[in-house]
Amino acid sequence: MKAIVGLGNPGALYKNTRHNIGFMVLDAFAEKHRLSFTPDKGEYYSVGSNLNTSHFYLYKPTTFMNLSGNAVLHILERNNIELDDLLIIADDINLPTGNIRFRESGGDGGHNGLSSIIYSLETNKFNRLRFGVGNEFEDGKMPNYVLDNFYENEKEIIRFGVGFSIKLIEKFILGGKKEMMNYYSNEINNLKKI
């Protein structure tokens, strides 16, 4: 079984902010596959289903970003999920808006949610999709920037990135990180030819 965790902050105040792109991707995935999140027994909302014969669960922690690791650890332990079957989706200020990168391990890149997960799991070796939200902010203004909504001129780029992320998640569910990485490489190479 695959577990896909989107990072974000709960509540209407944060709904369309840059920091909530993990939630936004999973909401779009759920909408495409006609799924609805419900409160779970842990500090998260979840929904499970199958893609072909591959079983998966989507999770949105309700712990707020800085404590995401608590929810992720509970998800893994409660469902006996291997790290290889976990995929985290998070915003990344170190990437241009809409750019997507896949990593199998690495540091937190200044992201409090990833930092919390690394701390709780006691490892940085877990799959993550990093969704670029840009870094058009002045020194000291990062918190305001990531907790603000996307600009109007970014919304089409974000829609494209969300759609690409949905495809990557589907590949991850169907064939694990290898199939997802193959698809990612092919698509990125095709884009470079345009």
| Contact assessment for residue 166 and residue 173, using Cβ atoms and an 8 Å cutoff | no
Half-sphere exposure in the Cβ direction for 129 (13 Å, CA): 31
What pLDDT, on a 0 to 100 scale, did the predictor assign at position 192? Answer: 57
2-193 CATH:
3.40.50.1470
What pLDDT, on a 0 to 100 scale, did the predictor assign at position 194? Answer: 44
111 counts as catalytic:
no
Q: Is the pLDDT assigned to residue 36 strictly greater than 60?
A: yes
Supply the mean pLDDT for the chain: 93
* Identified catalytic residue from 19, 33, 55, 111: 19
Q: 127: which strand partners?
A: 87
pTM for this predicted structure: 0.93
Which residue from 75, 140, 129 is spatially nearest to 102, judged by alpha carbons?
129
